[in-house]
Amino acid sequence: MARILDGVTIAAAIKQEVAEEVLALGAVGIRPGLAAVLVGNVAASEIYVRNKVRICGEVGIYSDLIKLPETATTAELLELVASLNARDEIDGILVQLPLPAQVDVKTVLDSILAAKDVDGLHPVNAGLLQAGRTALAPCTPAGVIEILRRSEIPMAGQHAVVVGRSDLVGKPAAMLLLHQNATVTICHSKTHDLSAITRQADILVAAIGRAGFITPDMVKPGATIIDVGINRISDPAEFARFFAGNAKREAAFAKNGSTLVGDVDPKAFEVAGAYTPVPGGVGLLTTAMLMANTVRAAKMRRGL
């Protein structure tokens, strides 16, 4: 039976370590601070941001939640970011995505000081990451590495295949794995004979944003699967495709009308040697690593 890589336990351990670091910084008069910017009324975004603010409180990080209306313009967001850049008590700035259609997302994200870019999306941080220098790395890929490291899954010398090439997950995950001395292949929607490549993976990272995209025939027996995807499904036929016969899931689906599935078909986990579940896997690490990045930014800004 495949080993479950428990994101709940690993995220809790990271948050405890962050809380201890915050306590130590407090002893020398420093309290890390995170500003979260929420634009509009996207329900999922509101839940994500509230969760981040709540965890800030749990670990002792100062948080400032700033809400703007759905009609906010690029100019208004740039003005807000400039003010946050200038606030010394703010070490990290998070602009929750997605933003409304009228906002130039890249311009806004690029306006965040690289030193306060706790999402790791600024071109300066991307360049530092590629060069293998000290940088604020995107939270989800950093969480992937922590899951592998803390689960004692070897990375050096292993063939890691990353399915997905986004700036937020795929590319930085590949770079971080490369820095761990893995041999890395990046695949995407235009890759020819994708299954032939994924079947070579000792470590398979699925980050393509499509429910159940990785099927059992695409997995090397005994491989470690890191499922980054979080997809909500509500269609009964699609649910049956993934979870038919799973009494616990069926009861929850009947009650809630939806459920979460990753980018990996759950049947593929039967082929694996180890895997991250959805929910309970990588998603929990994203917020934990945001807290870790905020503390890291606070220390780096002060030369600690």
- The per-residue pLDDT for 42 is 87
- The per-residue pLDDT for 189 is 86
> CB count, 10 Å around CB of 199?
17
Catalytic residue status for 193: no
Residues 175 and 91 in one domain: no
Instruction: Give the domain range for residue 76.
Output: 29-113
Q: Among the options 15, 91, 96, 202, which is catalytic? A: 96
Catalytic residue status for 180: no
Q: How many domains would you assign to the chain?
A: 2
- The per-residue pLDDT for 44 is 85
Residues 146 and 215 in one domain: yes
- The per-residue pLDDT for 43 is 87
**Each residue of 32-81: pLDDT tens digit?**
999 999 999 888 889 999 999 999 999 999 999 999 999 999 999 999 99
Residues 80 and 162 in one domain: no
Residues 62 and 169 in one domain: no
Q: Tell me whether residue 221 is in a domain.
A: yes
Residues 89 and 150 in one domain: no
Catalytic residue status for 248: no
Q: Tell me whether residue 14 is in a domain.
A: no
Give the SS3 label for residue 273.
coil
Residues 79 and 203 in one domain: no
Residues 150 and 277 in one domain: yes
- The per-residue pLDDT for 37 is 97
Q: Among the options 15, 91, 116, 119, which is catalytic? A: 119
Q: Tell me whether residue 7 is in a domain.
A: no
| CATH code of the domain in which 37 resides | 3.40.50.10860
Residues 149 and 215 in one domain: yes
Residues 93 and 185 in one domain: no
**Each residue of 148-174: pLDDT tens digit?**
999 999 999 999 999 999 999 999 999
Q: Among the options 52, 116, 171, 220, which is catalytic? A: 52
pLDDT < 70 stretches in the chain: none
